[in-house]
Structure 1
Amino acid sequence: MYSDADAAALYDLLNPWDPERWSGDAFYAELVMAAGSVLDVGCGTGSMLRWSREHGHVGRLVGLDPDPAALARARRRADIEWIDGMAAGAKWEAEFDLATMTGHAFQFLVTDDDVRASLGAIRAALREGGRFAFETRHPRARAWEAWNPSNATDITDAAGRILRVWHEVEAVVDGAVTFTGTTADPYGTVLRVDRASLRFLDVLALDAFLAEAGFEVEARYGDWQRGPVTPVSQEIITLARRP
């Protein structure tokens, strides 16, 4: 079987952090490098914070994630704080200039209570004037329609195993998409199946939650080049501020 540690390593191969290649990574890198202290919520394997330290960030960097296998990879870099936990349980008070949720991590907040508790804790963690940057997939783009075996990815992992990875949607209910991610060998033998749900919120719903939590929307973009959100935008990229 494909272990949790294997899956975490595969994630890094499938999602390499490289601001020179990926405009989304460059967007966040600019924000992080300009902030004195950064909290990365849902940091996963810690690629963004590790890159930031390697490229000269000298301030406080904290990564928060509930996945032990991902954090084990993150902790290969010891000059960053790695915390096991979820946003809703965070207890920081006015300690950070910037909070981020990259890689569509915000969409894992499926219920209203999840969103409210997480936004409240993130706002509390920010200093006055601190900013929260995150992105969600625009629901009108219906990204989940491409999550099927015909769009499988073939990749060789660090152990030299040739793998095929694909996603399949199980249900779409009230804006929440439940799907599976399957890892198999080249002959179709399934090694691992993971299940998750993501919530797709539109701009009006996002702004209502942000306002309720005490955030002000500073900027809103529909792509990583900072274009406006339109009906055909793939992303809803938000930069919110704690007044």
Structure 2
Amino acid sequence: MLSDADVAAHYDLLSPWDPIRFPSDAFYDELVRGADAVLDVGCGTGNMLRQARESGHSGRLVGIDPDRAALDRARRRTDVEWVLGTAADIGWVGEFDLATMVSHAFQCLIGDDELRASLAAVRTALRDGGRFAFETRHPQARAWEDWNASNAEDFTDPAGRALRSSHHVESVVGDVVTFTETTSDPADGTVLRVDRASLRFLDVPTLGDFLDGAGFAIESQYGDWHGGPITETSREIVTIARRV
């Protein structure tokens, strides 16, 4: 079987943070480098903030996440503040220039009340005029249709084990998709771990309504990581919202 610590290590292996290779990482890297105080909500294993510090960011960097195992990996770097908690747990008031939710973490906010409470907490943590940057998969692209066994990924973990990761969609109810991620032995199919998660796919108008209701104004919104507009073929909704 695989522990939570194993899963956190696998995440780092399968989803490395690299602003040179990945336009999404470059997008956030530029924003972080231009802000004195940054709060990364749903920071996971902390790769974005750890690399920002390694690259010379001298301001305040704070990551918050509810996953203890992920934070244990993040805490290998001690010159960044790491906090256990959810977006709604944020208690800072007017301390940050920039808040981020990267790697589609925003989609983990499922219910309306959870979403409103999280946005309110993020807004409160920002200084006047502070910005909140995040992305969510555009529902028109129906990304979940590719989450199936035919797209399984084989990899070797840090301990040298050969593993296979595959996904299965259990349900699509309204704008919420629930799915499982199964990690198995590719040699004999032995299931080592099954994780279940739900993600919310908000469309552009609904997302805008939530932001407006929370006291944010949309400063910029893109359909890709190169600053292109949102079109009928866009797969992402990349948003920079400003506290008003």
TM range (shorter): over 0.9
**Counterpart AA for 2:147:** W
Q: Distance in 2 between matches of 1:114 and 1:233?
A: 26
In the other structure, the counterpart of 2:6 is 6
In the other structure, the counterpart of 1:204 is 205
Matched ranges for 1:176-191 at <5 A: 176-186=176-186, 187-191=188-192
In the other structure, the counterpart of 1:132 is 132
Q: Distance in 1 between matches of 2:183 and 2:41?
A: 26
Q: Distance in 2 between matches of 1:113 and 1:15?
A: 30
Q: Distance in 1 between matches of 2:162 and 2:6?
A: 13
Give aligned pairs, total: 243
Gaps (5+ residues) in structure 2? none
Q: Given the alignment of the two structures, is residue 39 of structure 1 paired with residue 39 of structure 2, yes or no?
A: yes
Q: TM-score under structure 2 normalisation?
A: 0.99
**Counterpart AA for 2:203:** D
Matched ranges for 1:68-87 at <5 A: 68-87=68-87
1:174 Cα deviation after fit: 1.0
**Counterpart AA for 1:207:** G
In the other structure, the counterpart of 1:107 is 107
Gaps (5+ residues) in structure 1? none
**Counterpart AA for 2:240:** L
Q: TM-score under structure 1 normalisation?
A: 0.99
List, as ranges, runs of 4+ consecutive aligned residues in structure 1 with deviation greater than 6 Å: none
1:89 Cα deviation after fit: 1.3
Q: Distance in 1 between matches of 2:115 and 2:205?
A: 14
Q: Distance in 1 between matches of 2:163 and 2:183?
A: 7
Q: Distance in 2 between matches of 1:92 and 1:130?
A: 13
Matched ranges for 1:148-159 at <5 A: 148-159=148-159
Q: Distance in 1 between matches of 2:182 and 2:44?
A: 19
**Counterpart AA for 2:129:** G
In the other structure, the counterpart of 2:193 is 192
Matched ranges for 1:82-93 at <5 A: 82-93=82-93
In the other structure, the counterpart of 1:175 is 175
In the other structure, the counterpart of 2:55 is 55
Q: Given the alignment of the two structures, is residue 242 of structure 1 paired with residue 231 of structure 2, yes or no?
A: no
Q: Distance in 1 between matches of 2:222 and 2:156?
A: 35
Q: Given the alignment of the two structures, is residue 220 of structure 1 paired with residue 217 of structure 2, yes or no?
A: no
